[in-house]
Amino acid sequence: MSTTGNGNDILLQGFHWNLTKTQGTGTFDNKSLSWYTELTRLAPKISADGFTMIYLPPPWSDDSEWYGHGKHGGGEGYYWHDFDLNSRYGSKEELKLLVAEMHRHGVKVIIDIVINHRDRTRMQKDIWPYPGEAWRTAGDDSGGRFMDGSADLNLTNPTVYTRIQQALSELQTDVGVDGWRWDFVWGFDPQEVRSLILDTKHAEYFSVGEYWQDRAHGDDPMAERYGANEKLRILGWMRESGSAVFDICLKRAINTGVASNLSRGINTSVAPVERSSVVTFVDNHDTGASPECQANNFGQRAWECSPDFKSRAYAFILSMPGLPMVYWPDLYDWNVPGILELIRARKLADITAASEYTDLSSSYGGFAAIVRNQRGEDSLAIAIDSAFVAPPGFTLFAKHENEWAVYLKS
């Protein structure tokens, strides 16, 4: 079972937290077209900008509402009520057109899947009595609680598992999607993911899990098996699920805002399978800001990269091993310097998720490295807050003054 792409992929997160809200106060509410239709229109540009995969928001119907700290929202897809593909992002037919257009331009489509929890108060189809065997509260659960656990599903229940398997197969066969981003994966056992991948109608191209849990909670199956060490737990989930995993260790290093810490990520591991099985990222819909909306200001901002370090962080992930992901607002709303040039440099240098590299940081300060292509040849050199200048044979390709420089082998 291989669900980690071909090693040459560059992923775009095609949404942010503030796009749509139940009360119609998101940044894309009250538009004349849906977000799916907008993405369909932008498919040629997304492809031309160098992306090979796009990751879309949860596809199922969500009419939830939340309030707190002067903010409100709901409808983002993370508290869905039915396996209905007519969501706030667009209709099932619009999603099918979007996937077809992305495929026409060589872009694969990954869907965010939320299977740990479900809105138990608005069910209209697949009504599972609450409390009952379908739920953690009266049944069982193979992982940890989401918030208080009151809305957690019991994936070990055959009814729940079979219906989720059918919903994923519908996305594959009727819509044409290529894989999954699994939400909140410490909420269930990684074997559930492995089984669902094996039990869906078609082979997935790509699958990645959000294992984000800095402390080893007692109801986390990875903590039970791998202990307190975060990296071991992340890699354990990767191996047991058969999926890629987000490089939270690197995200932690990015958030220090110190270039010399960047080598602490899993993407710099000596093991090629570990480098090639992590998705590197600077921010996403949870960790970073989103374009401002009336409902929720600048969004989640739960663990954001400092704006002063963001361009440096993108220089790192787009030059180094691992599968890099770009967060939509960073490129298409805020135009963080250098992203498109860095994507082009990565492609020209033939850098892959498993590329080897030589770390020169100890000699020059900051972060500095020479990265090799698929043939094992020195191909790209990078300096971030470093005195390093590439040796003869390299030519400066892109830079952001006083922050980073990228060189390509002539």
210 in catalytic set:
yes
The rounded distance, in Å, linking the Cα atoms of 246 and 266 is 9
Q: CA-to-CA distance for 354 and 372, rounded, in angstroms?
A: 10
- Residue ranges of the alpha helices (H) in 242-278? 248-254, 272-275
Contact 60, 83 (CB under 8 A): yes
Output the six-digit token pair for 109: 């489509």
Count the helix, strand and coil residues of the chain and give each as a percent rounded to the nearest 5: 30, 20, 50
Crossing angle between the packed helical segments 35-48 and 92-104, to the nearest 10 degrees:
10
Q: Give the Cα separation of 254 and 278 in Å (integer).
A: 15
Helices 339-349 and 310-319, packing angle to 10 deg: 20
**Catalytic: which of 178, 183, 192, 204?**
183
Q: Identify whether 38 is a catalytic site residue.
A: no
3-state secondary structure (DSSP) of residue 194? helix
CB 60 within 8 Å of CB 82: yes
Phi then psi for residue 403, to 5 deg, are -125, -60
Catalytic residue among 112, 189, 210, 220: 210
Residue 297 has what DSSP assignment?
B
Other C-beta atoms lying within 10 Å of the C-beta of residue 302: 13
Nearest to 201 by CA among 168, 156, 177: 168
Give catalytic residues, as residue numbers: 183, 210
